[in-house]
Chains A and B, each alone.
Chain A
Amino acid sequence: QIALKESGPSLVKPTQTLTLTCTFSGFSLNTRGVSVGWIRQPPGKALDWLALIFWNDDKRYSPSLKSRLSITRDTSKNQVVLTMTNMDPVDTATYYCAHKYDSSSGFDSWGQGTLVTVSS
């Protein structure tokens, strides 16, 4: 049974760096083909993909946010960490992490999401 859970601050100030952790169980990020992604959703708006880290530590980022994002993994802890620099109120959103088992599959398991508000 795959499970993912996001954790991190619920409130950050403008210009600060956001660090979110996705802790997962039920799979290994060392398994060929597997990846974990981050997706966000501003209130009342559409899903917005942020980043993806693969089983071989390959990484991909949203082209529009690439300069602000970093995704890393700790396979010993079953965690994936997303950092986003220079936070702005427009970054207020629910942030989800999700599992993908190969390149053609979708995100088949999602965390519950964590709401991050950016405000001074």
Chain B
Amino acid sequence: QSVLTQPPSASGTPGQRVTISCSGSSSNIGSNTVNWYQQLPGTAPKLLIYNNDQRPSGVPDRFSGSKSGTSASLGISGLQSEDEADYYCAAWDDSLKGHVLFGGGTRLTVL
């Protein structure tokens, strides 16, 4: 069971905006930055958001990230069929000498 909690599923219709949440604690999200990954079926994960709200080069500005306290969110606006994928949040955790945590993942379905 992941320490970073995500909803297992989310859905939306083309053009809609969807939000995926990631809930943690003071030792991880509360004191470190959050990253988000997109994993299309059968492929390796791809970095989507880093440092809470920064987009790597090439990631459309339809994708946005935010963090407040011990929670973070990924927003996807203007939903497209190619956004159908699994999304994972991740953060460093300061406990036990420090380690990386991934959320349990959210499967996004574009209806």
Contact = CB atoms under 8 A, between A and B. Distances in A.
Q: Do A and B come from one complex?
A: yes
Interface of A: 37, 39, 46-49, 52, 60-63, 96, 103-108, 110-113
A63 to B, nearest CB: 5
A47 B37 contact: yes
B99 A60 contact: yes
Interface stretch (B15-23, B76-84, B88-96): B88-96
B51 A49 contact: no
Interface residues of B, number: 27
Contact of A60 (B37, B56, B97, B102): B97
Given A49-B99, A52-B100, A108-B50, 5 more contacts: A39-B102, A62-B99, A104-B50, A106-B90, A108-B47
Contacts of A52: 99-100
26 contacts: A39-B45, A46-B2, A46-B88, A46-B103, A47-B88, A47-B90, A47-B102, A49-B99, A49-B101, A49-B102, A52-B99, A60-B98, A62-B99, A96-B45, A103-B92, A105-B51, A106-B47, A106-B90, A107-B35, A107-B37, A107-B45, A107-B47, A107-B90, A110-B44, A110-B45, A110-B46
Nearest to A109: B47
A60 B96 CA distance: 10
A110 B97 CA distance: 25
A107 B2 CA distance: 18
Interface in B22-50: 33, 35-37, 39, 44-47, 49-50
A33 B85 CA distance: 30
Contacts of A111: 44
B44 A96 contact: yes
B96 to A, nearest CB: 5
A106 B99 contact: no
A39 B37 CA distance: 13
Given A37-B100, A62-B99, A108-B56, A46 B47 contact: no
